[in-house]
Structure 1
Amino acid sequence: MRNVTTGLSVVAILFSGAIFGFFYAWVCSTMWGLDQTDPRVAIEAMQAMNASVRNAVFFPAFFLTPVVLALTAYMIWVQGQKAPAFWIAAGAAIYLMFGLILTMAVNVPMNEALALVSVPEEIEAAEAIWSEYSSRWQFWNQTRTAASGVALALAGYGIARLRTD
């Protein structure tokens, strides 16, 4: 059972780190870069990125992180290590609520609405669309980034507290 728990712990940290890094990259480079470009280009680029993100590489980190964290916590709890299991389960709950569910409830509908927008030829019209979208989208992305970082930290803390005897 120890080998299973070790494997799950590694996957839990890997998935948690991957999704935190994914959201973090949007915070510190992607959106800032799009905000600096022609808003017509920003709209088209965001539409393309949103269309491409639904793929097999993104799926495990985005959808399976809370599952792997919860399963890891359960396996550790069954082994009698309640405190480490609690921290990992807390990470799972935080990511589930403020990472996955928040994304599905806020960012995805915003992305779907942007996908329906025809990019206007007039830069002023594009600027109005982009600035409204970008500021709101970034707020919620920063929220899910922070939550994902907290989930990763909690999982790491829980794993670090595991007894090896």
Structure 2
Amino acid sequence: MEMIKSISFFITLLLVGLSAGFFYSWEVSVIPGTSRVSNLSYLETMQQINRAILNPKFFLSFFGSLIFLVLSSYLHYRDAINSAFWLMLLATIAYLFGTFGVTAFGNVPLNDALDAINLQQLNSTQLEDTRLSYESKWNRLHTIRTLFSMLSFSLALLALFVNQKAAETVFTQFFNL
């Protein structure tokens, strides 16, 4: 059981780290970059990115993070007196509501609404209005999910270090130290 717990914990850290890194990278590169392009270019780019991101690689880190956070929290439950369980539970809650929930109920509906727009039929004023409405809401939501994914990763990482036995098990089993 310890080996399953350790493997699950390792995969959790990897996936949540990838997810947090993805959102952080977007925050510091894509958002500043797209802020510099024309309204039409921005809206077309976001439509294409929103379509392209629906792929197995993204789904693995985005959905996998939540699945493995739940699994790792469950596997730590029997050690409820251990603070690692509570940190994992907090990491799961942060990811569930702050990253997954904000994405599912905030960013995705905005993406769907943007995707339904035929940009070629809009005049320059309509393009500007559409961008202003979409971009400000989307970026605000993205910042929230970025912060929560980083919080979730930090809490999960802290759980690893708080539970020194788990840390030793992870390192010895994965790196044969």
TM-score interval for Structure 1 and Structure 2 normalised by the shorter chain = over 0.9
- 1:102-124 Cα offsets, whole Å, 9 max, x none, are 11111100000000112146433
Residue in structure 1 matched with residue 144 of structure 2 by the alignment: 143
Q: Extract unaligned runs of 5+ from structure 1.
A: none
Q: Extract unaligned runs of 5+ from structure 2.
A: 169-177
Most deviating of 84-93 and 19-28: 19-28
Residue in structure 2 matched with residue 130 of structure 1 by the alignment: 131
Conserved 8 A contact 1:66-1:93:
no
TM-score by length of 1: 0.92
Q: Residues 163 and 31 (structure 1 numbering): CA distance in 2 closer, same or farther, change over 3 Å? A: closer
Q: What one-letter code is carried by the residue in structure 1 that aligns with 2:146? A: T
Identity of aligned residues (%): 24
Most deviating of 41-50 and 75-84: 75-84
> CA offset at residue 25 of structure 1?
2.0
Distance 1:88 1:80 in 2: 11
- 1:31-82 Cα offsets, whole Å, 9 max, x none, are 2211110110111110000011111101121112122112112222325663
- 1:115-145 Cα offsets, whole Å, 9 max, x none, are 0112146433322211221111000100010
TM-score by length of 2: 0.86
Q: What one-letter code is carried by the residue in structure 2 that aligns with 1:147? A: F
Residue in structure 2 matched with residue 55 of structure 1 by the alignment: 55
Q: Where in structure 2 are the equivalents of 1:58-69 lying within 5 Å?
A: 58-69=58-69
Aligned pairs, number: 165
Distance 2:128 2:6 in 1: 50
Q: Residues 123 and 35 (structure 1 numbering): CA distance in 2 closer, same or farther, change over 3 Å? A: farther
Distance 2:108 2:80 in 1: 39
